Chains A and B, each alone.
Chain A
Amino acid sequence: MTKELLKGNEAIAEAAVRAGVEAYFGYPITPQTELLEYMARRMPELKRAFLQAESEVAAINMVYGAAAAGARVMTSSSSPGVSLMMEGISYIVASEVPCVLVDVMRGGPGLGNIAPSQADYFQIVKGGGHGDYRLIVLAPATVQEAIDLTYQSFDIAERYRTMVVILADGNIGQMMEPAELPPMHAANGGHNGQRASWALTGAKGRPHNVITSIYLVPEVEEQFNQKLQAKFRKIAENEIRYAEYATEDAEWLVVGFGTSGRVAQTAVKQARAKGIKAGLLRPISLWPYPEKRLAELANNVRGILVVEMNAGQMLEDVRLAVSGRAPVKFYGRMGGTVPLPDEVLDEIIRLTKESNS
């Protein structure tokens, strides 16, 4: 197969189509709108369901319905729209139905702007909705990675009966890059044409199925929570993903995800050219977080620099994982601005000087 020049948002949409997504529900918001627009054309062409919902609240609850009905289903949005989805997300995780959400983050808080940002880390990785729940969060740094993660995300969601979030930023959504698309699955490829036994399909020849999230008796709700936590532990064991660059002999470690990780990699290369032994850890799964690997690396470096397009959100996870093994510094840009490799390089140099003095 050959590479094509693809725009991030459209590439994610086509990857989902090829993964066999049967239904898409969404509401326009920049910088993810091309994803919805692509689906508006592509899904009907394949006789699959596409619907522009009246709001993100409606969209996530349509996703909830289609997921409860056992279909491969997704929605996409950007930061303010994702805020509106939080109640539905909590219901979906609590009802244990699989689905995929793509959040192409933009500048905030408030209406903010439409430029790339990573300021939804707390909202997506730490919660945002009510109750004790976790989302499987995958953060691509290239269009190719966005395609690959989206393609896998439905299988992962179905394996654990939960929601997977592709946490991209406006850069990934808007950027055009050469990338390769995966082969086409039939719709509902995940179940080989069979609906899951728990799905709402009509109670034909079996007792009726119920999809719910209410457990009035506290002890029963606690038992259910324990079951969820056990599932989250299993996910934490199996689904950690990260990429490393030049870490073998690194004395200085940079940690960044998505676009920040990509910018940081360029800065690390530049630092190496200057004789600074820098390396990069780029977490791909933000939950579960690659904390073990980070702790191992922290044992062997003299200092760590965290780079993000926010005020320091993943920074908290880095500090927890590092647990004082090495000094941790932060460099962040906010409000829709993107750090330049030179800025990150300056920060790496400053880190080496501060730690040497």
Chain B
Amino acid sequence: MTTPIIPVMEQLEDIVYSRPAALAECSTHYCPGCTHGVAHRLVAEVIDELGIAERTIGVAPVGCAVFAYNYFKVDFAEAAHGRAPAMATGIKRVHPDNVVFTYQGDGDLASIGMAEITHTAARGENITVIFINNAIYGMTGGQMAPTTLPGQRTSSSPLGRDVEVMGMPLKMAEMLAGLPGAAYVARRSLHSAKEINRAKKAIRTAFEAQLAGMGFSMVELLSSCPTNWGLSAFDSLKWIEEHMIPYYPLGDYKVAEGIEALSKN
């Protein structure tokens, strides 16, 4: 008998990286290089760390994340396009002790679902929103989103977004932060390891705000869509840094009193 060259897991002394318990053991349908998977993982890690998997209920959008319920091992609903915040409201109002979050793309949240997200934030609904801003409609094949950058080419803005016709892209974090019901609103990016770590902290803070009953929390995540941007995975991350961040500055847009104390614990 020969000794195995690759050590089996149990023999490793210190596991520094493994699948979060809240994430299902399967491969996803996301395209190579798409950061939806990174965002899923961060949410799952936070669910694990806070020990809330058994009382969390997620609401998936219509968009590329429509099958999010296959990847999280928590109760999940799949909402109509844009209506996840309304559905989450219905759930939270009858199960106030559960942790409820929506996971939405930019077409879902900032276009068709603008009324629902705005009023959910305005009510200070005690839910958490994970908002994936990839500047495009991914699922339907790369049409213009309300977040598509000026001049950005998409299948429905083939000459580039003309702001004379379509106006300027929407800055949702800034908009929603202006509402009194919002307790925590932040924008992060998934383009580098450092920013991913910062994104995770923000997601954790958002869930903690909900656990403390402080009201509406949202983390906007600048994300890549290599397939519909027509870029390689690597160039997509560079594109986030060079093109998206200047228009969508990272930072905390609303930090209600008491939030900072939460994250320190």
Chain A residues within 8 Å of B, Cβ to Cβ: 22-23, 25, 49, 51, 53-55, 57-59, 61-71, 73, 87-88, 91, 95, 200-205, 207-214
Contact = CB atoms under 8 A, between A and B. Distances in A.
B54 A65 contact: no
B95 A203 contact: no
Determine chain B's interface SS by DSSP, over half rule. Answer: helix
B75 A200 contact: yes
B80 A65 contact: no
8 contacts: A57-B86, A61-B80, A61-B83, A61-B90, A62-B87, A65-B77, A66-B90, A201-B57
Interface string B85-104: 01111111111001000000
A198 B41 CA distance: 26
B94 A211 contact: no
A273 to B, nearest CB: 53
B119 interface: yes
A61 B117 CA distance: 13
A201 B76 CA distance: 10
B57 A69 contact: yes
Nearest to A68: B77
B75 A209 contact: yes
Nearest to B55: A202
Contact of A61 (B72, B75, B116, B118): B116
B78 interface: yes
Contacts of A53: 86, 119
Interface string B62-85: 000011010011111111100100
Contacts of B55: 202, 204
A65 B75 contact: no
A44 to B, nearest CB: 12
A201 B72 CA distance: 15
A22 B94 contact: yes
B141 to A, nearest CB: 15
Per CB-CB distance, the 3 closest pairs between chain A and chain B, nearest first, are A65-B90, A61-B86, A65-B87
B199 interface: no
B77 A73 contact: no
Contacts of A58: 83, 86, 89, 115-116, 119
Contacts of A204: 54-55
Given A208-B76, A210-B76, A66 B86 contact: no
B53 A73 contact: no
Contacts of A55: 115
Contact of A202 (B60, B90, B98): B98
